[in-house]
Amino acid sequence: MIDGHGKRYLDGCGGAAVSCLGHSHPALIKAAQQQIETLPYAHTSFFTTDVMEELADTLVDSAPGMGKVLLVSGGSEAIEAALKLSRQYFVEKGEPTRHLFIARRQSYHGNTLGALAVGGNEWRRKHFAPLMMPGNHIAPCFAYRNKRDDESPEQYAHRVAEELEDKILDLGPSNVAAFVAETVVGATAGAVPPLPGYFERIRDICDQHGIHLILDEVMCGTGRTGSMMAYEQEGIVPDIVTMAKGLAAGYQPIGALLCRHEITDLISKGSGFFQHGHTFMGHATAVATSLATLKVIEKENLLDNVISQGDAIQARLFADLGDHENVGDIRGRGLLIGVEFVANRDTKEPLDPAKKTHNHVQRTAFENGLLCYGMGGTIDGRVGDHVLIAPPYNISDNHVDELVNKFTAAVTASFTQA
């Protein structure tokens, strides 16, 4: 990116993990232009469009177990639609008491009231709490912070998954509609992948109590972690999954909700329609651009690049910063990478939140010509600092070097100045 003064930046985070194909991919620009010339927009109550049909087919083909797609304009809209779809399904199934959602602390699901209610970030929620439905939160699967030394990773994963069972029993199983979780936690906790076995146990618990598993892949989906859907790496299939951010690579705003056939079949045979909608749903120009994005990812074999460059970046970060006294953890999956900062590596004591170290690192990197995404409140919404690295899927070896060199320099300078 080049700013108004001609200064050049390497985009190492794509805004918030959005710009997955850089900022000037000719295929995406052409797709948007062509669609505007053909038909920029058509309201979905009158028409479907060729590109909408093709995108829906492409998404269903690339999301194992999913049967239907709803195209919206962003991540929060996709989450709102997911909550409402789950609720409507249970009402039509004759289980109208199911109205509660369980989610996890240290997750972000969007800024609209329903999404904020299920989100587990205290700082974002607190002003609006009186306006929201009650939040029911359990612990995240966050081994660096919460695994006890006397537990194996498997024991820890099992322990935190069991919190879902306890919460369901607490709320009354017949009152619960769904469990909502980011498959790989993105911005709030800083790129935290689940441990093996965690989502398998979560799936079992949801099945046992007849509740939906809604996975939020707004940030970690669309190839960001090396598979088109992040859940493919967990050996499970959700009931509903949301996507947005990278879906049109930032060239257009778009989001999507996918669900199992069983959900739409029941509603089709019942009321016949999902009682929900937005004016810009399935916006033709956004949809055409999204379709082009998915084609580029496939044609340029970019999921392989996501995996190999993600590994390369993590290896380089370990080499350059693995011994730094203020770097507590380097983690992530594919090109969703987080670096957590601490005051003391041995005790994992966090930094003083008043110092806003995450901001300091982000600002120093910005001055050095690197965009990365700093966040505070990593541990509990108040304390903890991390920076997210989420470069485009087509990042080259040279840009990996530049990214790691500039990031290392920013971290070193930030702690030297502090």
Ligand X SMILES: Cc1ncc(COP(=O)(O)O)c(C=O)c1O
Task: Please report, as ranges, the residues that interact with ligand X according to CB under 6 A.
Answer: 16, 74-76, 79, 108-110, 182, 186-187, 216, 218-219, 244
Within a 13 Å sphere around the CA of 46, how many CA atoms are in the beta-carbon half? 7
What burial letters (b/e) apply to 121-155, b meaning 16+ CB within 10 Å? bbebeeeeeeeeeebbbbbbbbbbbebeeeeeeee
**Residues 176, 134: contact at Cβ < 8 Å?**
no
Tokens 């948007």 sit on residue: 32
Tokens 């739409």 sit on residue: 264
Closest distance of CB 336 from ligand X, Å: 10
Closest distance of CB 246 from ligand X, Å: 11
Closest distance of CB 298 from ligand X, Å: 24
Closest distance of CB 275 from ligand X, Å: 21
Residue number with the smallest Cβ distance to ligand X = 75
For 398, other C-beta atoms within 10 Å of its C-beta total 9
Q: How far apart are CA 352 and CA 335, in angstroms?
A: 29
CA 124 vs. chain centroid, Å, equals 17
Closest distance of CB 230 from ligand X, Å: 11
Q: Which is nearer to ligand X, 185 or 330 (CB)?
A: 185
Closest distance of CB 339 from ligand X, Å: 18
Q: How far apart are CA 206 and CA 136, in angstroms?
A: 15
Residue 24 CB partners (closer than 8 Å, separation 6+): none
Q: Which is nearer to ligand X, 188 or 414 (CB)?
A: 188
Using CA of residue 307, residue 308, residue 309, residue 313, what is the dihedral sign? positive
Q: Which is nearer to ligand X, 16 or 296 (CB)?
A: 16
**Residues 11, 390: contact at Cβ < 8 Å?**
no
Q: Which is nearer to ligand X, 76 or 326 (CB)?
A: 76
Closest distance of CB 33 from ligand X, Å: 24
Structure-token pair, residue 105: 């602390």
Q: Which is nearer to ligand X, 79 or 411 (CB)?
A: 79
Closest distance of CB 272 from ligand X, Å: 29
Q: Which is nearer to ligand X, 78 or 306 (CB)?
A: 78
Q: How far apart are CA 348 and CA 89, in angstroms?
A: 44
SS3 136: strand
Q: Which is nearer to ligand X, 75 or 377 (CB)?
A: 75
Q: Which is nearer to ligand X, 336 or 400 (CB)?
A: 336
For 76, other C-beta atoms within 10 Å of its C-beta total 23
